[in-house]
Homo-oligomer: A and B are copies of this chain.
Amino acid sequence: MDAAGFRAALDGIFEHTPWVAEGAFEARPFATVAALHEALMAVVRSRPIEARIAFVGAHPDLGGKAARAGTIAPASVSEQAGLGLDRLSDAEFERFEILNAAYRARFGFPFVACVRRLTRDAVLDAFERRLANDVEAELATAIDEIGFITRLRLVERVEGPGVPNVAGRLSTHVLDTHKGGPAEGVRIELYEVGRSARALLKQAVTNADGRTDVPLVVGVPLRMGNYELVFHVGAHFSARGVALPQPAFLDAVPIRFGISEPEGHYHVPLVVTPWSYSTYRGS
C-alpha cells in the first residue's frame, strides 16, 4: 500500500489531521492492529506542545453549538448522538456551554472525551475533575481520550490480527439457593442511574441456567457511570409455589453498582432466597 492509500484507509479516524497517518507510514508494516494504533498515537505524542494543542484544538465542543447544528465530523456526530448530546434540553445545553467555556478559558483548547466510554454524568464528572488539572497533565489526558476515540474508530474500520480490546461485558446470573439451582424465568431490568434521572436500558428474563441468553451488554465499551439491576424474585418464588408473606420480604431486588472500566468484564450475580441475598463482582 502506498502512502496515499494508507492515508485514505485511515481517513476520518484522526479528524482533519492527515499528518498523523503520514507520520506513521514509514513504520509499516504493523504486526497487529494494536501496534498500528500505538504508532499513530506515538506520532501525536512526539509533536511539540504547540502542535499537540493545535491537534486537540481541532476537535469540536462536547454538546456544543456545532453538535446541535450538525457541522462536526461525521464520526463525532454519531458518537455525541449516542449519549444524547445532540438533543440536550436548553438547561443542559447551557450547562455544557458554561463548562466548555470555562474549560477553554483555562486550557485554550476544547474539552475532548471519548463519549462512547462515558455516561452523561461521567462526562460532567470528568469536566469538573479535569478542570483542576494543570495544562500539561490536561493536554496528556485530552490526547489519551483521543486515543480511546480513535482506537474505537480504527477497530471498526480495519481488519487484521491483534485487534485491541475495545469492548466490555456486563453479565448476570441468578442462583436460587432455596431450591439449590439456577433461577429460571426471573425478570431483570437494567437502568442507568443518573444524578437527576434513571433510564431503562434493557429488560431480560433468565433462562434455565439462570443467565440471560445474551449478556446484558456485550461488544461495545461499557459507559462509565452508575447502574442498577432490578431482579423480580418475588414473582419467581411465587411461581415456584413458595409461601410468601404479604408483602413479600424480597420482591424487586435492586443491585446498584458503578462501572469504571469500559473494557472490563462485570459479572454481577444474585444468590437469593426469599429471605436473603448476596452479590459480588464476579468474573
Contact = CB atoms under 8 A, between A and B. Distances in A.
Given A252-B256, A256-B251, A279 B277 contact: yes
A257 B250 contact: yes
Contact of A258 (B178, B182, B225, B248): B248
Question: Interface size bucket, A side?
Answer: 35 or more
Interface in A202-252: 209-210, 224-226, 228, 245-252
Contacts of A283: 173, 175, 181-182, 209-210
A282 interface: yes
A177 B280 contact: yes
Contacts of A279: 276-278
A252 B257 CA distance: 8
Contacts of A147: none
Interface stretch (A23-31, A64-72, A78-86, A267-275): A267-275
A273 B226 contact: no
B247 A281 contact: no
A6 to B, nearest CB: 37
A175 B268 CA distance: 12
A106 interface: no
Nearest to A224: B247
Given A261-B245, A274-B180, A278-B276, A256 B253 contact: yes
A247 B225 contact: yes
A21 to B, nearest CB: 33
A141 interface: no
B281 A177 contact: yes
Contacts of A125: 246-247
Nearest to A248: B258
A281 B181 contact: yes
A271 to B, nearest CB: 6
Given A181-B281, A182-B283, A246 B260 contact: yes
Interface of A: 122, 125, 173, 175, 177-182, 209-210, 224-226, 228, 245-254, 256-261, 271, 273-283
30 contacts: A125-B247, A175-B280, A175-B283, A177-B273, A177-B275, A177-B276, A177-B280, A177-B281, A178-B273, A180-B274, A180-B281, A181-B283, A182-B283, A224-B246, A225-B247, A228-B254, A245-B258, A245-B261, A247-B260, A248-B258, A248-B260, A250-B256, A250-B258, A251-B258, A252-B256, A254-B254, A271-B276, A271-B278, A275-B281, A276-B278
**What 6 A-B pairs are tightest by C-beta distance, nearest first?**
A278-B278, A276-B280, A247-B258, A180-B275, A245-B260, A177-B276
